[in-house]
Amino acid sequence: MIEFEYWQLLLFPLFFGLGWAAARVDIRHLVKESRSLPRSYFQGLNFLLNEQPDRAIEAFVDAVKVDPQTVELHFALGGLFRRRGETERAIRMHQNLVDREDLPQHLKLKALAELGQDFLKAGLLDRAEAIFDKLRGTAEDEDAKRNLLEIYQLERDWEKAIAIAAELPDVASQKEIAEYYCELAAAEMMRSHRDLARQHLQTALERNRKCVRASLLQGDLEAQAGNDLLAIDWWQRIEQQDPVYLALVAQRLLDAYRRLDRRDEGLQLLRGYLERYPSLDLLDVVFQLVLESDGADAAYRLVRDELKRNPTLLGFDKLLEARLLVAPPETRADLDLAKGIVQGYTRRLARYQCDNCGFKARQFYWRCPACGGWETYPPKRTEEFDLTP
């Protein structure tokens, strides 16, 4: 048991008195600071509490005009304007801070970084790049590099993107860097510089051996050179990298086998892919091939069996298309009507969807236009995406 001395009771009034004195000092300090703030600042707070954000912003702007020393208010307003899309006002706010000679160096760097963000949001990439270049080697170095990487990707300056990515190992993965090399290769292929394209694709595969796009483009290079067997070999490698992307090369494989006059072998390969890796895009290609080689009845049976295995509205739409090919004339009008109704529902299901942010698009992208993620668009339609466990 702890022993208690009576003299210790004298400490309670002492502690109470110290606490009261400290509170008085804090209250006096708070009152002094509040008196120094312009009246419009408190009007802005009142508008915010009454859920009138536009009037609050105008009041805060007036407060800044009255008292230019309210630096944090400058930053807060500038950031708010940028988020609201009012980039011109954000630029003016942050430019005023950058131009102030009395601003401490660390705040001036922060203001410069915010100004760069404003230019980036406004799409003024050259001005944003100049600012972030200036910030390299300062306390804002890492954020500046991140923003430069984004700018280089938007400008499609892949060599600069590769160089800056090497300085950001925690930001840019090897998968993303492999994509930069694929972009370089695609550009060289457009210029018919096949040797340079091959070098870039080889580097892409060294960075990421599972880079599907590199294998796809390697196959395209060989097909352009007339080497269909080599092209087929490259495209078939995708099964080991990520079989979901086989849907992207199904038509390429079919065309290559046709040029080699080995259509039956191509049909067997693609039917095997469809059985192991169900895909609506693969089904489209195999359907056309079976229709061409074995006739409408065989194509109808193919779609019917696939629909039993993987029931989808898009598959049902394909079934109606196949049924129309074999239906007697007196039933075609009804089938056409049913197909039109089904298509009205399937248009929104036939899009691709980013599995990072959920953005949907009618075409396939290697880089999501919404969140900027690489290889986040599996070549599956929305309906398939929703059915995937």
Binding site members for Fe cation? 354, 357, 368, 371
Within its chain, how far is the Cα of 185 from the centroid? 22
CA-CA-CA-CA torsion sign (17, 21, 22, 23): positive
Structure tokens at 30: 């708070």
Distance CA 24, CA 35 (A): 16
The 10 Å Cβ neighbour count of residue 43 is: 17
Q: Of 321, 248, 231, 240, which Cα lies nearest the Cα of 285? A: 248
Q: Beta-strand (E) ranges in the chain?
A: 352-353, 360-361
Q: Which residues are annotated as a binding site?
A: 354, 357, 368, 371
Distances 3 to 6, 8, 383 between C-alpha atoms, Å? 10, 11, 75
Alpha-carbon distance of 287 to 189, in angstroms, equals 31
Are the C-beta atoms of residues 82 and 92 closer than 8 Å to each other? no
What count of other Cβ atoms lies within 10 Å of the Cβ of residue 190? 9
Question: In the numeric block, which tokens belong to residue 326?
Answer: 């074999």
**Largest Cα span, the chain:** 110
Query: Would you say 74 and 97 are in contact if contact means Cβ atoms under 8 Å apart?
Result: yes
